[in-house]
Amino acid sequence: MIVQRNEDELLALSGLQHLAFCERQWALIHLEGLWVDNKLTMEGRILHERVHNPFFDESRDQLVITRSVPLVSHKLGVFGIADVIEFQPTLDSAKGVKISGKGGLWQPTPVEYKRGNPKPDDRDMVQLCAQAICLEEMLDITVDLGYIYYWRPRRRQKIAIDDDLRQRVYKLSGRMHSLFREGRTPPAQSGVNCRLCSFVDYCLPKLTKQNKSTKDYFRQNIEIKSPFA
């Protein structure tokens, strides 16, 4: 069942990709307010700063590109910003919208920019699909396609916004809202993702498996100044 959430309940759309990677990572960022940069996240931030430069909006005959587009979905209960939305001409009224100063209908397609290579999991696709659902709700159209641009191979990957991916996103958003209501950091489940995670030194997955938040672990076990002091 899809729940319509009001303004006060909206959570960050970016949380869906964190949750898809690891529930504990989501909680460390979105409940405990922890952020840890490493080389990978720094590169990602630089890339997004470039992409989000509003002076690079473009308009050509067959393509309009807008950057840093605010998004919201009350069905998912999320808000965020899309890196890039590309608009191309369409004759399909179910997929197109009008653009001021342009004739005809234009079909919006979200493009998400990511550093590095395609991931072994679906977190990037989850984020893209959530953006597509936001656009559908805001513009009352259907968005069945998006792209993820990977910086390292400098290639973009076409992603179908299909039913399976949509179901995954709705399930994750439901879980995210329920974890937020509980306000509890899930226990670490040390595994393959921990090796790729910039939080591993603060999360301490092997030591904090017993359902402890990192704050509680530091308070109870370590006599040194914690990063949360």
199, 212, 217, 218: residue in contact with ligand SF4 (rule CB under 6 A) = 199
Measured from the CB atom, is 28 or 84 closer to ligand SF4? 28
Distance from C-alpha of 34 to C-alpha of 128, rounded to nearest angstrom: 24
Nearest distance from C-beta of residue 103 to ligand SF4, angstroms: 49
Smallest distance from ligand SF4 to CB 73, Å: 26
β-strand 155-160 against 78-90: which pairing, if any? unpaired
Contacts with 159 (C-beta within 8 Å, 6 or more apart), sequence order:
125, 128, 129, 145, 146, 147, 148, 165
What is the amino acid identity at position 69?
V
132 binds ligand SF4 (CB under 6 A): no
Pick 73 or 185: Cβ nearer ligand SF4: 185
Q: Which is nearer to ligand SF4, 20 or 132 (CB)?
A: 20
Max intra-chain CA distance, the chain: 66
Nearer to ligand SF4 by Cβ, of 130 and 188: the residue is: 188
Question: Per-residue string for binding with ligand SF4, 170-189, x by CB under 6 A?
Answer: ------------------xx
In the list 20, 69, 128, 197, the residue contacting ligand SF4 (rule: CB under 6 A) is 197
Question: In the set 200, 213, 215, 218, which binds ligand SF4 (CB under 6 A)?
Answer: 200
Q: Nearer Cβ to ligand SF4, position 121 or 137?
A: 121
- Per CB under 6 A, which region of 5-13, 63-71, 190-198, 220-228 contacts ligand SF4? 190-198
Across 3-36, b (16+ Cβ under 10 Å) vs e yields eebeeeebbebbbbbbbbbbbbbbbbbbbbebee
**Min dist. Cβ of residue 25 to ligand SF4 (A):** 4
Q: Going residue by residue from 14 to 33, which x/- string records binding to ligand SF4, judged by CB under 6 A? A: --------x-xx--x-----
CA dihedral 65, 68, 72, 77 (to 10 degrees): 130
Q: Which parts of this chain interact with ligand SF4 (CB under 6 A)?
A: 22, 24-25, 28, 188-190, 193-194, 197, 199-200, 203, 205
